[in-house]
Amino acid sequence: MIEMFKPGETTASLEVLVIGAGPAGIAAACIADESGAITGIVDENPGIGGQIWRGTSQNAPSSQAAQKRSQDLSKSKAQLLLGARVIAQPDAGILIAETAEQTYTLECKRLILATGAREGFLPFPGWTLPGVFGAGGLQALVKSGLSVRGKRIVVAGSGPLLLAVAAYLKKSGAQVLQIAEQTPLKKLRAFTNRLVRHPAKAWQALQLKLSLWGVPYRAGIWPVRAGGSEKLEWVELTDGKETERVECDYLACGFNLAPNTELAQLLGCELENGCVRVDEFQETTQPGVYCAGEPVGIGGLETALIEGEIAGAACLGHRDYARTLFSKRAKARRFAALLETTFALRDELRELARPDTFVCRCEDVTYERMAGHGSWRSAKLQTRCGMGPCQGRVCGPAAEFLFGWKVDSVRPPIFPARVESLTVAGVRE
Amino acid sequence: MAAPDVLIIGAGIVGAACAWECAREGFQVTVIESETVGGGATAAGMGHLLVLDDSEAEFALTSYSVKLWREKMEELPPDVEFLGCGTLWVAADDEEARLLPKKREFYVSRGVRAEILDSQTLAEAEPNLRRGLGGGLQVPDDAVIYSPCAARYFLARAQELGARLEIGRRVAEIERDGVRLEAGTHLAAGIIINAAGTAAARLTPGAPIRPRKGHLVITERYPGFVRHQLVEMGYLKSAHSVTTDSVAFNVQPRRTGQLLIGSSRQYGVEERGVEPRLLARMLARAVEFMPELRNFEAIRTWTGFRAATPDKLPLIGAWPGHDRLYMAAGHEGLGITTSLATARLLVDEILGRMSAIPRVPYAAGRKFNGAADH
Amino acid sequence: MAPRITEGVTLRVNGAAVTMPTGASVAAAVLAAGVTRFRRSVLGEPRAALCGMGICFECRVTIGGRAHERSCQIVCAEGMDVRTDD
């Protein structure tokens, strides 16, 4: 693996450009490189692995699989650009990416979007207190050097991520008080019964459960309030009937995942049910643009790896090879569908926000100010919700869930960018 | 529903101002809006309230209207974000600076405060402008607002006086005695006001209104970096340019500390998307005047369409050939500023009384001298 | 057992010296310094890192005089001057 840019260079020309160096992106880049294509891979994080394979700041890989794949990538001739966000597309086949110091122009013939997913947040009283983190959020911070030794932590929200996070926090020396999963016990039981059909998953689940021995995993429980004076001191959890207060130092709370579809939307790719629409070869409705993993539909690690490989092969015309992976993909996607129905958010979560609870954190817009509006656009114009630097990434999914609004279209820059980076497009005349 | 006295098409800032003014006169008002209050050009624009010396008629309308805005200053709610920062016209070089005395004289002789700044005093007034500029003209009584909330406020006041607001209904056609909605319903009204902005020409065939696209960028919060609305002297050249795409340096401080960066003009473009090349040109122009802008974080960009007429003046008043239809559209880049005066002039005409300024230059049925395709 | 970390990076958070393992994020350094408030929201409320992946913008601090830096995405460097909102 080589660095995409030498000092002084700002333009790169690639046959295959992969955006996102998580599992899907790594799989796509490896296979594209194996086919002999000049391949580049870009990620906004300081290291490869995305979220699920996020390495620690001490460069410890997150798992054996992650280690193997990242070794494959290092051995390849793929060119790597880290700490870079794609912000605009001045012309077909050309992307502008920005790091803290530089602005780069990336030209490519084929593009593979492996932009992953982000955590889903729901507002409830006290959710903005320091000490309330996302579940994946707290894990990412620990991996980046935050010590949680001896900290009392409640893990709450929804999804299998909660178990992985709790296990990791426990391993890191935290006192994990409990895991509160909003999904009802009945649905969780049905899910574990179905796991028999997916033995690898069952084994993973069992390993997690064993490492969490001593940590209560409670179903049908969700947070209703977080409190403390300048930072978090306690959380109130409920089962819909009774509420208990739990004193803690941190709350790691996330409600499933939301796909990062912004780049796909910027490029004009069509979405379906909030996810990027692709054909059997992972090609989007924009010719030459492929998409794999979470943005196509939240599907987890297996799906990402397989779809990344299909995209990497198919974009170079190796369709027969791609076809050999279809049935593996179907199986992985079936598991993903099972996850989606199991961990669907319950209606009570819509009632958590009080009138004075902030829904938009960037602009401090409360629930009651937003609720009066009939559409996301109207709420945005009148209250400025969604107009802050997060560009609606945190409050948009929450607003969709709370009010049923459709969050509107995407414009450049798809991430706050230096004014200078937006002037680059004019240079190429 | 009984037929209202006045039916207003469009709840942008112009329609909203008309609604309030009509309701104040005791008219039964209904406002029909197809999408969102203040969702068209009102949302896209800069919200700059300025007195413009482009022509006598433009000056009369803008100065009258800015006076009306200043009368309302105290009562505007906080989310309208009224900021009395004034405008600072910037001369890029000595050649442009030589035009400043004449510009100042125009304002001052008509009772509007204006003060010339030389290169040095300009740098003191706005330390973040680059060195070596020609100077400037400060017009301290200009201001900026956040327009969608102003439109909502005007409508709220109208509603307090009994006006009705119907959102989500689109007018398909203006008929003899009312309008027909897309859904098929016919709504009768004593008077119809077309305040539909760029859609005004669709509803009133023959109304010489064409869309003129503009781009804008808003940055993160950098409080104190810019103190006045800054507009380059070359802005007027850009506003007049008939055929080419043009950009001009135009930067506004918002109450939040964010900077609003404009401006651009394009004709004959219907496509709504942000155009990276034009955006790049516009931002490059801004950076020429304020070099540090290049490192500021741009959070969002967007486009909007101004409703433009051949002589840059709006259509205000009765539409010839229809005994109930009045126009309140075609304000180009001055809709926010002139919304209040538009409403006042229109109601004066409806009631047959004299206005504070002559209405003739804005007559809706006026002829345009030879300006073929503007 | 992981080896004891003897190297590190020393930076200043609100004037106080903090030593972090090489590769640690500035967000981790802020929390290690015992600072719970990274920034004040529009209405003045205390805020801290939330998403850990650079999308929520709650972890913004000023580094070396540059405002609006997302601390969870920035690796600690020797001698960095980090300031949170008062």
Q: Which of B:82-141 have CB within 8 Å of A?
A: none
Hey, are the CB atoms on B256 and C42 less than 8 Å from each other? yes
Give the list of residues 6+ apart from residue B76 with CB closer than 8 angstroms, or none.
B82, B145, B150, B153
What whole-number distance in Å separates Cα of residue A106 and Cα of residue A115? 16
What whole-number distance in Å separates Cα of residue B1 and Cα of residue A118? 49
Q: How far is CA C8 from the centre of its chain?
A: 15
Instruction: Summarize pLDDT for A296-334 with one digit per residue, the tens.
Output: 999 999 999 999 999 999 999 999 999 999 999 999 999
What whole-number distance in Å separates Cα of residue B344 and Cα of residue B356? 9
> Does residue B149 or residue A55 have the better pLDDT?
B149
What whole-number distance in Å separates Cα of residue A62 and Cα of residue A75? 19
DSSP C29: H
Hey, are the CB atoms on B220 and C68 less than 8 Å from each other? yes
Nearest to A418 among B37, B167, B296 (CB): B296
Q: Distance from C32 to chain B by nearest Cα, in Å?
A: 28
Identify the band that residue A427 occupies on the pLDDT scale cut at 50, 70 and 90.
low
Q: Distance from B258 to chain A by nearest Cα, in Å?
A: 10
Find the mean pLDDT for residues B75-86: 96
Minimum CA–CA partner of A88 in chain B: B276
Mean pLDDT of all residues in chain B? Answer: 95
Minimum CA–CA partner of B298 in chain C: C68
> Does residue A70 or residue B339 have the better pLDDT?
B339
The amino acid at residue B38 is: G
Minimum CA–CA partner of C69 in chain A: A100
pTM: 0.93
> Does residue A315 or residue B369 have the better pLDDT?
A315
Give the list of residues 6+ apart from residue A238 with CB closer than 8 angstroms, or none.
A221, A222, A223, A224, A244
Question: Is B336 an 8 Å CB contact of chain A?
Answer: no
B222 CB neighbours in chain C (<8 A) are 67
Hey, are the CB atoms on B297 and A423 less than 8 Å from each other? no
What whole-number distance in Å separates Cα of residue B13 and Cα of residue B20? 11
The amino acid at residue B134 is: G
State the best of A144, A147, A418 to mutate against chain C, taking most chain C CBs within 10 Å: A144
Identify the band that residue A86 occupies on the pLDDT scale cut at 50, 70 and 90.
very high
Phi, psi of C66 (to 5 degrees): -90, 125
Give the list of residues 6+ apart from residue A8 with CB closer than 8 angstroms, or none.
none
The amino acid at residue A113 is: L
* Predicted local confidence at residue B374, as pLDDT: 41
Phi, psi of A411 (to 5 degrees): -130, 160
For A143, the 3-state DSSP assignment is helix
What whole-number distance in Å separates Cα of residue B62 and Cα of residue A362? 35
Q: How far is CA C76 from the centre of its chain?
A: 8
What whole-number distance in Å separates Cα of residue B296 and Cα of residue B298? 6
Question: Is B297 an 8 Å CB contact of chain C?
Answer: yes
CB pairs under 8 A between B and C: 6
Q: Distance from B281 to chain A by nearest Cα, in Å?
A: 6
Hey, are the CB atoms on C25 and A57 less than 8 Å from each other? yes
* Predicted local confidence at residue A66, as pLDDT: 84
A: neighbours with 3+ CB pairs under 8 Å?
B, C
- Say if residue A413 is preceded by a cis peptide, omega within 30 of 0: yes
Question: Is A389 an 8 Å CB contact of chain B?
Answer: yes
Hey, are the CB atoms on C25 and A362 less than 8 Å from each other? no
Interface of C with A (CB under 8 A): 2, 5, 20-25, 27-29, 31-32, 36-38, 41-43, 45-58, 68, 72-76
* Predicted local confidence at residue A426, as pLDDT: 53
Find the mean pLDDT for residues B81-102: 96
E strand or H helix at A183, and its extent? Answer: none
pLDDT at B141 exceeding the cut of 80: yes
Phi, psi of A147 (to 5 degrees): -90, 130
Hey, are the CB atoms on A374 and B168 less than 8 Å from each other? yes
* Predicted local confidence at residue B373, as pLDDT: 43
Minimum CA–CA partner of C42 in chain B: B256
Identify the band that residue A195 occupies on the pLDDT scale cut at 50, 70 and 90.
confident
Q: Distance from C61 to chain B by nearest Cα, in Å?
A: 13
Share of chain C above pLDDT 70, in %: 93
Closest listed residue to residue A375, CA positions, set A365, A385, A366? A385
What whole-number distance in Å separates Cα of residue B284 and Cα of residue A315? 37
Find the mean pLDDT for residues B204-218: 96
Instruction: Summarize pLDDT for A200-239 with one digit per residue, the tens.
Output: 777 778 777 777 788 999 999 999 999 999 999 999 999 9
- Per the DSSP assignment, residues forming a β-bridge with B301 are B217
* Predicted local confidence at residue B1, as pLDDT: 59
pLDDT at C3 exceeding the cut of 50: no
- Say if residue A211 is preceded by a cis peptide, omega within 30 of 0: no
What whole-number distance in Å separates Cα of residue A374 and Cα of residue A403? 9
What whole-number distance in Å separates Cα of residue A374 and Cα of residue B83? 29
A168 CB neighbours in chain C (<8 A) are none
Angle (nearest 5°) at CA B47 between B42 and B53: 115
What whole-number distance in Å separates Cα of residue B258 and Cα of residue A125? 28
Give the list of residues 6+ apart from residue A355 with CB closer than 8 angstroms, or none.
A366, A367, A368, A371
Token pair recorded at residue B325: 């239809």
B256 CB neighbours in chain C (<8 A) are 42
Identify the band that residue C10 occupies on the pLDDT scale cut at 50, 70 and 90.
very high
For B34, the 3-state DSSP assignment is coil
B217 CB neighbours in chain A (<8 A) are 419, 422
Phi, psi of B341 (to 5 degrees): -65, -35
C68 CB neighbours in chain B (<8 A) are 220-221, 297
* Predicted local confidence at residue B242, as pLDDT: 64
The amino acid at residue A42 is: V
Token pair recorded at residue C48: 């801290």
Token pair recorded at residue B37: 């209050």
For A339, the 3-state DSSP assignment is helix
Q: How far is CA B316 from the centre of its chain?
A: 14
* Predicted local confidence at residue A194, as pLDDT: 83
What whole-number distance in Å separates Cα of residue B229 and Cα of residue A251? 45
Instruction: Summarize pLDDT for B224-275 with one digit per residue, the tens.
Output: 999 999 999 988 777 766 667 899 999 999 999 999 999 999 988 989 999 9
Mean pLDDT of all residues in chain A? Answer: 93
| HSE-CB for A290 with a 13 A CA cutoff | 31
Hey, are the CB atoms on A378 and B39 less than 8 Å from each other? yes
State the best of A132, A141, A384 to mutate against chain C, taking most chain C CBs within 10 Å: A141
Minimum CA–CA partner of A421 in chain B: B294
Phi, psi of B13 (to 5 degrees): -65, -30
Hey, are the CB atoms on A411 and B39 less than 8 Å from each other? no
pLDDT at A73 exceeding the cut of 60: yes
C57 CB neighbours in chain A (<8 A) are 362, 388-390
CB B233, CB B267: distance < 8 Å: no
pLDDT at B371 exceeding the cut of 70: no
Hey, are the CB atoms on C74 and A118 less than 8 Å from each other? no
DSSP A328: H
Angle (nearest 5°) at CA B302 between A84 and A290: 45
Question: Is B78 an 8 Å CB contact of chain A?
Answer: no
Instruction: Summarize pLDDT for A358-377 with one digit per residue, the tens.
Output: 999 999 999 999 998 999 99
Token pair recorded at residue B249: 């340096």
* Predicted local confidence at residue A210, as pLDDT: 75
Closest listed residue to residue A151, CA positions, set A295, A264, A247? A247
Closest listed residue to residue A24, CA positions, set A113, A110, A111? A113
Closest listed residue to residue A310, CA positions, set A339, A283, A271? A283
CB A125, CB A225: distance < 8 Å: yes
Phi, psi of B218 (to 5 degrees): -120, 140
Closest listed residue to residue A251, CA positions, set A149, A177, A167, A362? A177
Q: Distance from B254 to chain C by nearest Cα, in Å?
A: 14
Find the mean pLDDT for residues A108-117: 98
pLDDT at A428 exceeding the cut of 60: no
CB B365, CB B301: distance < 8 Å: no
Q: Distance from B110 to chain A by nearest Cα, in Å?
A: 36
DSSP B83: B
What whole-number distance in Å separates Cα of residue A322 and Cα of residue A415? 33
CB C59, CB C70: distance < 8 Å: yes
Poorest-pLDDT segment among A29-43, A204-218, B119-133, C24-38: A204-218
Share of chain A above pLDDT 70, in %: 98
Angle (nearest 5°) at CA B130 between B126 and B133: 90
C: neighbours with 3+ CB pairs under 8 Å?
A, B
pLDDT at B20 exceeding the cut of 90: yes
Hey, are the CB atoms on B220 and C42 less than 8 Å from each other? no
pLDDT at A63 exceeding the cut of 60: yes
CB A212, CB A176: distance < 8 Å: yes
Distance (Å) of CA A116 to CA A53, A69, A108, A153, B261: 12, 17, 20, 27, 32
Find the mean pLDDT for residues A178-201: 87
Hey, are the CB atoms on A381 and B274 less than 8 Å from each other? no
The ipTM (two decimal places) reads: 0.93
Nearest to A377 among B36, B273, B296 (CB): B36
Instruction: Summarize pLDDT for B261-317 with one digit per residue, the tens.
Output: 999 999 889 899 999 999 999 999 999 999 999 999 999 999 999 999 999 999 999
Instruction: Summarize pLDDT for C28-47 with one digit per residue, the tens.
Output: 999 999 999 999 999 999 99
pLDDT at A15 exceeding the cut of 70: yes
Instruction: Summarize pLDDT for B162-175 with one digit per residue, the tens.
Output: 999 999 999 999 99
Indicate the length of chain B as a whole number: 374
Maximum mean pLDDT: which of A55-69, B3-17, B228-242: B3-17
pLDDT at B97 exceeding the cut of 70: yes
